[in-house]
Amino acid sequence: MTLLQDSPHTRTDRAAPDGPGVGAPGTGIPGTGGPDGPAGLFGRGRRPVPRRRGPARLLPAWMVILAVVTTAVALLPLFYLVVRAAEYPTADFIDTVFSARSGRLAVSSAMLTTVVTGLCLVIGVGLAVLVTRTRIPGRRLLAVAAALPLAVPSYVAAYSWQSMNQLVSPGTTFEGFWPAVAVITLVTYPYVYLPTVAALLAVGSDQEEAARSLGRGPVHTFLTVTVRQATPAIASGGLLCAIYVIADFGAVAILRVDTFTRVVYTSFSMGFDRIGAVALSTVLLALTMGVLFVEGRIRRTATRYSQVGSGSGGRPARAPLGRWRVPALAAGWAPIVVALGVPVAALSLWSGRGVSRPGSMEEVLGALINSLWAAGAGALATTAIALPLALCLARRPSLLSRSLERMAYLAHSLPGPVVGLSVVMLGIAVLPMFYQTMWMLVLAYCTLMLPLALGPALAAALHAPPELEEAARSLGRPPLIAYLRVTLPLMAPGIGAGAMMVMLTAIKELPATLMLRPTGFDTLATRLWTYTGSESYAAAAPFALLLVLVASVPVWLLVSRLLKEV
């Protein structure tokens, strides 16, 4: 099975760059990695860490120190949040955490998370079964189309729905719990759909044939053998959805649903209720850690299954649908048509008007340049940090380097406002000379996106085995030269791919950018945010369009692979 499960460790896959990176950064959604490795959403496998007997091979001490120091810088906000939380008097802290307001927030966050995750499971698993196990007409088209909503950032989706609502029924508002459920579900279900497709394809036909030969009917076999084995993958996908919903800021903010994440942001932006924000942030931190932990456990089970049972056998049999063909087609296409139709309609209707506004071209261009500049700097810094850590993990994984990796995934899974808040506090209290500069924004990008650069770099490092560097040294090249001439060139494509993923994701990043941008510094995402807030839908449209284009690049890579497999 290779679909979407390209762990960075298959040495045969020389196209490492689009390995693990593709899925995870698809939307810049947190929680796509999980603590067990960069394989991420689409690689359910636990990383087969290269275990070597003996002392470090070609991993000079300075490299380890460099990796620790740089990663520590990236994770500084995470530590600082904990430090600040510990500073408050315990009683105050507990009062805040267990206040009536927190209770209300907990209820609405939990409701939103549960309902969206449930719907995502229904849609995602349903589509995956249709695509992998039935002879539904236009199967490949359906398979690809089902993944495409990933290209719509949640706040762009929210904007699209709201702006369409204004066109269709002016005067009414489109906000609140159920609209948020609809909008978030329709951009999140691919996180269940994709791993489920991979898992269903992984159960080879030989297992199903064995079950059939043991006297089980096709439906019974499917439920007891196939689905049973895909269950860990499905559960893991569902938990990733949950993390995403918990962390989502853009959609809930535009649609005005109070969740923990949104309130962290508002208590920061309105009057700066610091203890409230910090308390809620620690709640979110704990919540994220818990879900990540469970997800990691489940993923391990999935790996065990795939190690025992996967691989052999031909393509699984596909059931003919008979008279269920039309209902199946309708049910399969309905969520996709809605999920893609609304943004496409909104963008095509509003863009024309938006572009023809006087001065809009300059504004869009300015925001684009700012976006590229901030995201480029972020990508550069994140890649520089990921490089030594990737080498440490590839050459000699230690408890320290693996803990750093896990923490990087945790930070990556945290809601943007939480990281934004800790960077702001860090800037004010510890690094005032950097406060209100691009540096703080770059730091936040590093914290949020380190795993996106780490995954491909690690894959690339594993493609550049230490034996080659040793060969170079036995040919008379000192260690640094051997590294520069052999290992680095071999890693270059992976490093580049990781940097690109960070950049694309940073362009789409909203909350941390809002909180940390220098005054007057507007990016595509912040412009869209401002205009949507003032219901200037036409003015917002060009930004939404550009953001969708940016988000489409990794999704396109993903889809081209999907086409090969389904």
Partner 1 sequence: MTTTNRAGTLDVSGVTARYGAETVLDDVALHAERGSTLAVIGPSGSGKTTLMRVIAGFLQPECGTVRLDDRDITAVPAHRRRIGLVAQDGALFPHLTVTQNIAFGLDRRRLGREEVRRRADEMLELVSLTSEHGRRRPDQLSGGQRQRVALARALARGPELILLDEPFSALDSGLRDRTRRAVREVLAETGTTALLVTHDQNEALSFADQVAVLSDGRLRQAAAPREIYSTPADLETAKFLGESVVLEAEASAGVAECVLGQVPLRGPGSQGRVRLLLRPEQLRLVAPGDGVPGTVIDFDYYGHDCAITVEVSGTSELVRVRELDAEPIPPGTPVGLRVEGSGVAFAPESRLRFLT
Count Cα atoms within 13 angstroms, Cβ side, for 517.
22
Q: Site for partner 1 (CB under 8 A): how many residues? A: 23
- Residues 293-323 as b or e (16 or more Cβ within 10 Å = b): eebbebbbbbbebbeebbeeeeebeebebee
Closest CA to 416 of 212, 262, 206: 262
Is 310 strand, coil or helix?
strand
Q: Answer whether 393's CB lies under 8 Å from 460's CB.
A: no
Q: Answer whether 287's CB lies under 8 Å from 242's CB.
A: no
| Closest approach of partner 1 to the CB of residue 467, in Å | 5
CA distance 84 to 288: 18
Q: Answer whether 537's CB lies under 8 Å from 521's CB.
A: no
Our CB check for partner 1 shows the closer of 87 and 467 to be 467
| Closest approach of partner 1 to the CB of residue 179, in Å | 52
| Closest approach of partner 1 to the CB of residue 10, in Å | 15
CA distance 380 to 438: 13
Our CB check for partner 1 shows the closer of 11 and 304 to be 11
| Closest approach of partner 1 to the CB of residue 12, in Å | 11
Residues 6+ apart with CB under 8 A from 258: 104, 105, 108, 252
Our CB check for partner 1 shows the closer of 200 and 394 to be 394
90 near partner 1, rule: CB under 8 A: no
| Closest approach of partner 1 to the CB of residue 92, in Å | 49
| Closest approach of partner 1 to the CB of residue 426, in Å | 40
Our CB check for partner 1 shows the closer of 470 and 565 to be 470
Our CB check for partner 1 shows the closer of 55 and 520 to be 55
| Closest approach of partner 1 to the CB of residue 462, in Å | 13
Strand positions, DSSP E, 270-372 = none
Residues 6+ apart with CB under 8 A from 8: 16, 19, 20, 38, 39, 43, 47, 455, 456, 458, 459, 460, 462
Cα angle 198, 202, 205 (rounded to 5 degrees) comes to 135
Residues 6+ apart with CB under 8 A from 35: 292, 293, 296, 405, 406, 409, 410
| Closest approach of partner 1 to the CB of residue 400, in Å | 17
Please list the residues that pair with 203 across neighbouring strands. Answer: 310
Name which of residues 39 to 58 contact partner 1 (CB under 8 A): 53-55, 57-58
CA distance 427 to 435: 5
Our CB check for partner 1 shows the closer of 308 and 400 to be 400
Binding-site string for partner 1 from residue 379 to residue 418, where x marks contact by CB under 8 A and - marks none:
----------------------------------------
Our CB check for partner 1 shows the closer of 432 and 476 to be 476
Name which of residues 432 to 471 contact partner 1 (CB under 8 A): 465, 467-468, 470-471
Cα angle 111, 341, 547 (rounded to 5 degrees) comes to 80
Is 381 strand, coil or helix?
helix
CA distance 3 to 25: 17
Q: Answer whether 544's CB lies under 8 Å from 159's CB.
A: yes
Our CB check for partner 1 shows the closer of 357 and 477 to be 477
Our CB check for partner 1 shows the closer of 490 and 516 to be 490
CA distance 236 to 124: 12
State the amino acid at position 44 in one-letter form. Answer: R
Our CB check for partner 1 shows the closer of 171 and 478 to be 478
Closest CA to 21 of 556, 543, 498: 498
Closest CA to 390 of 443, 455, 447, 449: 455
CA distance 233 to 228: 10
State the amino acid at position 62 in one-letter form. Answer: W
| Closest approach of partner 1 to the CB of residue 283, in Å | 43
Helix axes 325-356, 154-168, angle to 10 degrees: 80
Our CB check for partner 1 shows the closer of 493 and 542 to be 493
Our CB check for partner 1 shows the closer of 14 and 104 to be 14
Name which of residues 464 to 503 contact partner 1 (CB under 8 A): 465, 467-468, 470-479, 482, 485-486, 489-490
Our CB check for partner 1 shows the closer of 54 and 170 to be 54
| Closest approach of partner 1 to the CB of residue 468, in Å | 5
Name which of residues 511 to 550 contact partner 1 (CB under 8 A): none
Count Cα atoms within 13 angstroms, Cβ side, for 172.
11
Our CB check for partner 1 shows the closer of 54 and 358 to be 54
Is 203 strand, coil or helix?
strand
| Closest approach of partner 1 to the CB of residue 531, in Å | 47
| Closest approach of partner 1 to the CB of residue 566, in Å | 29
CA distances from 440 to 54, 211, 445, 498 (A): 41, 58, 9, 21
| Closest approach of partner 1 to the CB of residue 474, in Å | 4
Residues near partner 1, by CB under 8 A: 53-55, 57-58, 465, 467-468, 470-479, 482, 485-486, 489-490
